[in-house]
């Protein structure tokens, strides 16, 4: 088979690493099906990368580099299985066909790769792992991010992230978590964990909890990519489409959410001409798909997507249908109670019924343990007090919010709001 021309070693390294980042989730998923261990599968995928770095500069990049890497990793998996006597029967059943695979050929059944990728998503997001472990492992296996990249994204020491990933893989192995897509009630409960991880990753990129930058675009892109992949693999799940719609619509505002120096721009001050109309269109389409396959009441992601769609439909801030948004938040709070949802509902209520009724809602949240160190609670309260003319109290709330904010950009914005109240 004809191959691409030989490239220089420096160029080949970059080519191999780029291809590997794109293909690694599928490779790890395919190999995990053989060895039934995510940690070992990742090591074998890395072995295939090393082989490519050695051979491609000399022999040229294959016509189908992804299939080459997949076949190389699977051959190493078969060798590993062969060396372990306890897997002798497994080798006889699945190794016979795999041993005859030609490295440069396409996999015989591309659908199997997609099935394996879906299994990997559910494995990496298994509830047996903590939320932090699921996020780190998902970004490593499915997002293709390196340990230093994950550490930088979450402002954590590399050693901490590395240990978190190692422990997560060990836990999956010791707990005997099966490499499968669960069925029935188990699938429904596991799907919630998968969607939650993707949502958390996006949120960290959309409004970073700490650091000097408000946005971390790479995390938003990875989360949106994973959500889109999941929607392709599970087209009949309404909440998957609901999450895609929510992320598309939220991401559509990214360019308008910060100013020239990276400072936050509030929703009312954003230049809506900078909102990405393509992403808005995609968000509307995903929300329509979610509604089309929904058999009962909409889930939390579909409801949040509907709220985001209401914002996207308004070409001016003054045109926002706050009554509809308040109603949707009411439904969300009734079906999926959360103090954060209630806080957001208060903001919408303030736009329909005034700051007084909204302040009453916010005051009921003061004792919520989950909001004790949440800087947006005093921030919202400060805004409502300022609108009521109670500037001294508002200033104190903004100062308190600034003290709780861990993100430098948000802290400066809150300090500026406090100064405005003097």
Does residue 2 carry a pLDDT above 50?
no
Burial of 219 (0-12, 13-18, 19+ CB in 10 A): buried
300-342 confidence digits (pLDDT tens): 999 999 999 999 999 999 999 999 999 999 999 999 999 999 9
d(CA 108, CA 125): 28
Whether this prediction's pTM lies above 0.85 is answered by: no
206-227 confidence digits (pLDDT tens): 876 666 666 678 778 888 988 9
pLDDT value at residue 211: 64
- The whole-chain average pLDDT of the chain stands at 85
pLDDT value at residue 110: 39
pLDDT value at residue 142: 76
Task: Output 409-415 pairs: Cβ under 8 A, ≥24 positions apart.
Answer: 409/212, 409/213, 409/214, 409/258, 409/262, 409/263, 409/264, 410/207, 410/214, 410/264, 410/375, 412/263, 413/263, 413/264, 414/375, 414/379
Burial 224-234, CB ≥16 within 10 A → b, else e: bebbbbbbebb
HSE, CB side, 13 Å, CA atoms: give it for residue 352. 14
For residue 326, the SS3 value is helix
Residues 6+ apart with CB under 8 A from 289: 231, 235, 241, 245
pLDDT band at 5 (very low <50, low <70, confident <90, very high): very low
Does residue 74 carry a pLDDT above 60?
yes
pLDDT value at residue 363: 96
Could you list the beta-strand ranges (E) of 138-217: none
Please count the residues of the chain: 422
């Amino acid at each position: 088979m004809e191959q691409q021309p030989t490239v220089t070693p420096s160029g080949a390294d970059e080519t191999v690493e780029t291809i590997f980042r794109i293909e690694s989730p599928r490779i790890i998923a395919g190999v995990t099906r053989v060895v039934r261990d995510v940690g070992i599968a990742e090591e074998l995928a890395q072995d295939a990368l090393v082989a490519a770095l050695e051979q491609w500069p000399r022999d040229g990049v294959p016509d189908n580099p992804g299939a080459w890497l997949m076949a190389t990793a699977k051959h190493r998996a078969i060798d590993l299985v062969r060396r372990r006597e306890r897997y002798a029967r497994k080798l006889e059943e699945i190794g016979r066909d795999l041993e005859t695979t030609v490295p440069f050929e396409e996999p015989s059944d591309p659908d199997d790769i997609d099935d394996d990728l879906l299994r990997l998503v559910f494995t990496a997001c298994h509830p047996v792992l903590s939320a932090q472990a699921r996020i780190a492992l998902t970004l490593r296996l499915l997002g293709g991010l390196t340990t230093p990249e994950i550490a930088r994204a979450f402002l954590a020491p590399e050693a901490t992230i590395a240990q978190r990933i190692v422990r997560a893989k060990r836990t999956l192995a010791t707990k005997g978590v099966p490499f499968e897509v669960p069925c029935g009630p188990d699938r429904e409960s596991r799907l919630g964990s998968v969607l939650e991880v993707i949502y958390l990753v996006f949120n960290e990129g959309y409004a970073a909890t700490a650091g000097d930058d408000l946005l971390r675009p790479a995390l938003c892109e990875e989360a949106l990519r994973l959500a889109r992949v999941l929607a392709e693999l599970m087209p009949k799940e309404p909440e998957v489409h609901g999450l895609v719609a929510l992320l598309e619509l939220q991401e559509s505002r990214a360019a308008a959410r910060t100013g020239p120096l990276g400072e936050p721009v509030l929703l009312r001050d954003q230049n809506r001409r900078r909102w990405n109309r393509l992403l808005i269109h995609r968000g509307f389409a995903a929300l329509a798909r979610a509604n089309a396959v929904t058999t009962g009441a909409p889930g939390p992601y579909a409801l949040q997507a509907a709220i985001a769609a209401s914002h996207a439909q308004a070409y001016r801030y003054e045109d926002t249908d706050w009554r509809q948004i308040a109603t949707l938040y009411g439904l969300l709070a009734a079906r999926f109670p959360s103090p954060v949802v209630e806080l957001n509902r208060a903001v919408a209520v303030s736009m329909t019924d005034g700051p007084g009724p909204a302040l009453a809602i916010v005051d009921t949240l003061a004792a919520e343990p989950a909001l004790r160190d949440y800087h947006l609670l005093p921030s919202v309260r400060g805004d409502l007090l300022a609108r009521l003319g109670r500037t001294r109290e508002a200033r104190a709330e903004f100062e308190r919010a600034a003290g709780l904010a861990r993100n430098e950009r948000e802290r400066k914005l809150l300090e500026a709001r406090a100064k405005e109240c003097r």
